[in-house]
């Protein structure tokens, strides 16, 4: 346990090693570490920004979706209204048409009836004349009594 | 394993605790502990060379495993320094703390090498007395502590100026009253003397004691079968515990260095 010259040699070695570390070991490593810290910080910030933007975009898409849904609902409502309108119109038209057909049919039926009556009258007149002729065979001359006969026919 | 002479416990211990010396001048002071110097230089060059080689290829991108390991150590030191030293720590204090921690840790770690096998190897190289652990040499630890002490005085003068430092020496901690000046000065002198002593002796004592325990276990292991079995178990246990001690002592030495240098930077 004696102090001797080793002390100085050891101190010199220590000084050299300190100088070496201060000069060559510490600064480059610190630079690398600080650069990396900066990169990581930037990356984290970018991530944060991306997250924020994603949130904004999702808000925007939700808005667009809501608007679209609203518009679709409007269109459907309009279409339904239009459809019921068309149905109403069609019903009205159909009713008119049916009325018209009914009227026409009635007129035709009356005409038919009238014609049948006419025919029937003709037949009855003929029958009456034929009967009268049989009765008045000798007395009645068709030619002389034409005026009479015609007036009778008209009365029937 | 002293060759030739009879092997006694005393000669065994003495053999392992004797440095290889080389005389560089007249008188007892001018001797050099070659083993201490060579081992510490070797370890320093190895560890700082490793750090340098890793740092030279350091990338700010994804680090490799070696770089991650070095960064882990460096950031650990940097955190410790940050909590103690308030100033531009990157300029000197933090790298100096890294130097102290790495170097002392490496020198302490030599304590884990099996002493007798190492002695055998050294013997093969023709080195009769060769101690592996530089920090079991008071010269090594005292050199470190004294260097830190000189740095402390240097930074005191650099930060506060010579006048400021002398003012601090005579006016703290008790007060500015001229009657108190001698007391203050005496108090500070005691502090300045005790700092390097406690700094160096703490490290030296711990590691030296650790080595002596290893030697005692080694001696027990030589006494017979039971001794070998228990010596092995005890040796392994002590080595595992010693991992904690060498790391802790290196850490304490580093922290004290940082604290002393921080105190030199701060005026009271």
pLDDT tens digit at each of 268 positions of chain B: 444 456 788 888 888 888 888 888 787 788 888 899 999 999 999 999 999 999 998 888 888 899 999 999 999 999 999 999 988 898 999 999 999 999 999 999 999 988 888 888 988 988 888 888 999 999 999 999 999 999 999 999 999 999 999 998 888 888 888 888 899 999 999 999 999 999 999 999 999 999 999 999 988 888 888 888 998 999 999 999 999 999 999 999 999 999 999 999 987 6
Going by their DSSP bridges, the two strands B31-33 and B21-23 should be labelled as antiparallel
Nearest CA in chain A to B36: A6
Q: Is B198 a catalytic residue?
A: yes
- Establish if B95 touches chain A: CB-CB under 8 angstroms: yes
Which among A9, A14, A25 has CB closest to B95?
A25
Question: Domain spans of chain B?
Answer: 17-265
Q: Please count the residue pairs, one from chain A and one from chain B, whose beta carbons lie less than 8 angstroms apart.
A: 122
Rounded to the nearest 5 degrees, what angle is found at the Cα of B95, between the Cα atoms of B91 and B101?
155
Residue B215 token pair: 């030697």
Helix axes B225-265, B93-109, angle to 10 degrees: 170
pTM: 0.75
Which among A9, A20, A29 has CB closest to B37?
A9
Q: Which residue has the tokens 């060579």?
A: B38
- Establish if A58 touches chain B: CB-CB under 8 angstroms: no
- For chain B, helix (H) and strand (E) counts, in that order, are 8, 2
Cβ–Cβ below 8 Å for B96 and A21: yes
Tell me how far CA of residue A115 lies from CA of A25, A82, B11, B151, B159, in angstroms. Answer: 132, 49, 165, 147, 143
**Do the Cβ atoms of A35 and B170 come closer than 8 Å?**
no
Chain B residues with CB under 8 Å of A13 CB are 37, 40-41, 44
Report ipTM (2 d.p.): 0.87
Residue B39 token pair: 């081992």
- Establish if B61 touches chain A: CB-CB under 8 angstroms: yes
Nearest CA in chain B to A15: B147
What SS3 state is found at A3? coil
What is the DSSP code string of B30-99? TEEEHHHHHHHHHHHHHHHHHHHHHHHT--SSS--HHHHHHHHHHHHHHHHHHHH--S-TTTTHHHHHHH
Tell me how far CA of residue B13 lies from CA of B77, B108, B112, B196, B216, in angstroms. Answer: 37, 19, 17, 28, 8
Using alpha carbons, select from B212, B209, B199, B213 the residue that is nearest to residue B141. Answer: B199
Peptide bond before residue B200 is cis, with ω within 30 degrees of 0: no
Chain B residues with CB under 8 Å of A25 CB are 48, 51-52, 55, 95, 98
3-state helix, strand, coil in chain A (%, to 5): 90, 0, 10
- The whole-angstrom separation of Cα B56 and Cα A25 is 8
Q: Which residue has the tokens 């007249």?
A: B26
pLDDT, tens digit, for every residue of B3-56?
A: 445 678 888 888 888 888 888 878 778 888 889 999 999 999 999 999 999 999
Q: Which residue has the tokens 């650790």?
A: B210
Which residue in B40, B184, B206, B262 is the catalytic one? B206
Which among A6, A13, A18 has CB closest to B137?
A6
Cβ–Cβ below 8 Å for B147 and A11: yes
What lies within 8 Å, CB to CB, of A5 at 6+ separation is: B24, B25, B29, B30, B31, B32
What's the gap in Å between the CA of A44 and the closest CA on chain B?
15
């Amino acid at each position: 346990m004696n102090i001797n010259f080793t002390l100085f040699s050891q101190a010199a070695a220590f000084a050299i090693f300190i100088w070496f570390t201060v000069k060559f070991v510490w600064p480059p490593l610190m630079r690398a570490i600080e650069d990396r810290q900066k990169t990581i910080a930037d990356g984290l910030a970018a991530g944060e920004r991306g997250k924020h933007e994603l949130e904004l975009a999702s808000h925007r898409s939700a808005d667009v979706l809501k608007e679209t849904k609203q518009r679709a609902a409007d269109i459907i409502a309009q279409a339904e209204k239009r459809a019921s309108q068309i149905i109403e119109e069609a019903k009205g038209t159909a009713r008119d048409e049916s009325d018209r057909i009914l009227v026409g049919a009635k007129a035709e039926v009356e005409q038919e009836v009238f014609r049948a009556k006419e025919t029937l009258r003709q037949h009855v007149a003929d029958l009456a004349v034929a009967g009268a002729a049989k009765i008045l065979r000798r007395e009645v001359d068709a030619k002389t009594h034409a005026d009479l006969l015609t007036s009778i026919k008209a009365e029937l | 394993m002293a060759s030739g002479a009879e092997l006694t416990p005393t000669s065994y211990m003495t053999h392992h605790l004797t440095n290889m010396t080389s005389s560089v001048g007249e008188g007892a002071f001018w001797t050099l502990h070659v083993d201490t110097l060579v081992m510490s230089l070797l370890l320093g060059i190895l560890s700082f060379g490793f750090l340098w080689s890793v740092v030279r290829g350091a990338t700010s991108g994804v680090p490799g495993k070696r770089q991650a390991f070095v960064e882990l150590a460096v950031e650990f030191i940097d955190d410790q320094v940050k909590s103690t030293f308030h100033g531009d720590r990157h300029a000197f204090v933090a790298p100096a703390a890294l130097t102290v921690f790495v170097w002392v840790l490496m020198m302490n770690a030599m304590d884990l090498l099996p002493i007798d096998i190492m002695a055998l190897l050294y013997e093969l190289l023709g080195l009769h007395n060769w101690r592996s652990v530089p920090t079991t040499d008071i010269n090594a630890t005292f050199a470190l502590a004294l260097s830190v002490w000189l740095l402390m005085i240097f930074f005191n003068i650099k930060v506060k100026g010579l006048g400021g430092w002398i003012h601090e020496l005579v006016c703290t901690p008790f007060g500015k009253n001229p009657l108190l000046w001698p007391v203050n000065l005496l108090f500070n002198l005691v502090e300045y003397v005790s700092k390097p002593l406690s700094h160096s002796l703490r490290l030296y004592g711990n590691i030296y004691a650790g080595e002596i325990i290893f030697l005692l276990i080694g001696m027990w292991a030589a006494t017979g079968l039971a001794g070998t079995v228990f010596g092995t178990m005890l040796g392994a246990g002590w080595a595992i515990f010693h991992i904690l001690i060498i790391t802790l002592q290196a850490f304490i030495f580093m922290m004290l260095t940082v604290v002393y240098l921080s105190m030199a930077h701060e005026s009271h």
